[in-house]
Amino acid sequence: MNSERQNLLGYTLLLPAVLILTLCGVLPMVFVVYYSLHDTFGGNSFIWVGADWFAQILVAPEFHAALARSLGFSALALAIEVPLGIYVALRMPTKGAMAAVYIVLMTIPLLTPSIVVGYLWTALTLPNAGLIYEVLAPFGIDLNMNKPVTAWLMLAAMDAWHWTSLVVLLCFAGLRAIPDDYYRAARIDGASSWSVFRYIQLPKLRTVLLVAILLRFVDSFIIYTEPYVVTHGGPGVSTTFLSHELVLKALTEFNLGEGGAMAVVYFLIVLCVSWAFFVVVVPRSRARSGTASS
């Protein structure tokens, strides 16, 4: 096919997806940018204020603090979920009934609505009645959700419970794509299981891991419902993450300008981090096609 025909066909096939993403992605983002550059009274009349909101939030300590908390929470979630997910995926039986049973059972947390996850962890941490509280009590640990460290750890445990299986499933799928010949060759060379992991499995998992890390980074960075239910952002503001701060500004205080500016900054941060991931990982994995040495 010549390139003009390829262009035409390519764009035509993309059209439905582009249209829907314009409606549910581009358009609302334009609104957000518009809010961030205007001041409003009740959402009716808008007055151009330029970059005032940005100047204001970029020096606001609450915004910095919420941003730091969100980044910290994402880092914590990734630090738990990614290694654990890879480990479980490596240890999964490759075929047979048990593999299917594990996969089905593993998806149950993934399919639990966030709001249910929130109430469930509230119940698990109830003093004198919750399971986690009771399990820790004999060890002399008094689970106190009014301590910021405890609240953080419980939220991290909750997020790990909810989403680690996503990493497991993606890695499991990635591992299945490695031809058995690779393992056979490694065995002939007398490779240790660590070097099999380091030089065969990990490189092959590059792309799936990128997806898993990106999804987990983005979704933990924007976490809203669960902390809202479990800790209400407290104790104090210690678990008030960016999304929570944003919803407070935009909806509760109806401060569209400030909320909009926060949204734009927040989107840019996620974009930069994601872009960095792509730059680091994609060029090498895109070159993988057909070559055994990747």
Partner 1 sequence: MTKRRSFAPAIYVGLLLVPIYWLFIMSLKTTKEIESSFIPYPQAPTLENFQYIFDDPSWYLGYLNALIYVLINVAIAVTVAVPAAYAFSRYRFFGARVLFFGFLTFRMMAPAILLVPFVQIFSELNLIDTHIAVAIAHCFFNVPIAVWILEGFISSIPREMDESARVDGYGLIRFFRKILLPQIAPGIAVTAFFCFMFSWVESLLANGLTVVEAKPINGIMTRAGSVLAADMPLLAAAGVLGLIPGVALIVFMRNHLARGFSMGRVV
Measure the CA–CA gap between 54 and 33, rounded to whole angstroms. Answer: 11
Question: Is residue 287 close enough to count as binding partner 1 by CB under 8 A?
Answer: no
Pick the closer one to partner 1 by CB: 107 or 238: 107
- The answer to the question of residue 193 lying near partner 1 (CB under 8 A) is yes
- Scanning residues 34 to 73, which ones bind partner 1 (CB under 8 A)? 35, 43
CA distances from 190 to 19, 80, 180, 199 (A): 54, 31, 15, 13
- Reduced to 3 states, what is the DSSP secondary structure of residue 45? strand
| Among 66, 169, 230, 261, interactor with partner 1 by CB under 8 A | 169
Q: Which one among 71, 178, 237, 281 touches partner 1, defined by CB under 8 A?
A: 178
The residue range among 48-56, 61-69, 71-79, 202-210 that interacts with partner 1, by the rule CB under 8 A, is 202-210
Q: In the bound complex, what is the minimum distance in angstroms from residue 119's beta carbon to partner 1?
A: 5
Pick the closer one to partner 1 by CB: 77 or 168. 168
Helix (H/G/I), strand (E/B), else coil: 144: coil
- Is residue 280 a contact residue for partner 1 (CB under 8 A)? no
- 202 touching partner 1, by CB under 8 A: no
Residue of the chain from 47, 278, 287, 294 that contacts partner 1 (CB under 8 A):
278
- Shortest Å, Cβ 237 to partner 1: 16
CA distance 213 to 82: 7
Angle of helix 202-221 relative to helix 256-286, nearest 10 degrees, comes to: 180
- The binding track of 233-262 with respect to partner 1, each residue x by CB under 8 A or -, is ---------xxx-xx--xx----x--xx--
- Give dist(CA 172, CA 294) in Å, integer: 19
- Compute the least distance from the CB of residue 208 to partner 1, in Å: 5
Q: What are 48's strand-pairing partners?
A: 38
Comparison of 60 and 110: residue with beta carbon closer to partner 1? 110
Q: Which of 78, 86, 120, 143 binds partner 1 (CB under 8 A)?
A: 120
Angle at 175 between CA 87 and CA 206, to 5 degrees: 85
The interface region with partner 1, picked from 8-16, 60-68, 75-83, 146-154 by CB under 8 A, is 8-16
Interacting residues with partner 1 between 126 and 165 (CB under 8 A): 126, 128-131, 133-134, 161, 164-165
Nearest to 257 by CA among 28, 27, 38, 29: 38
Alpha helices by DSSP H, listed for the chain, are 3-21, 27-36, 52-58, 61-91, 97-110, 114-124, 131-136, 148-176, 180-188, 193-196, 202-221, 225-230, 242-247, 256-286
The H-assigned helical ranges of 92-192 are 97-110, 114-124, 131-136, 148-176, 180-188
Which residue number, 76 or 215, has a Cβ lying nearer to partner 1? 215
φ/ψ region of 43 (left if φ > 0, alpha if ψ in -120 to 50, else beta) reads: left
- Which residue type, as a one-letter code, is found at position 29? M
Greatest Cα pair distance in the chain? 74
Q: How far is the CB of 164 from partner 1 (least distance, A)?
A: 8
Q: Of the candidates 93, 141, 284, 294, which one interacts with partner 1 according to CB under 8 A?
A: 93
Q: Which of the ranges 50-58, 60-68, 142-150, 181-189 carries the binding residues for partner 1, by CB under 8 A?
A: 181-189
Is residue 224 at the binding interface for partner 1, with CB under 8 A as the rule?
Answer: yes
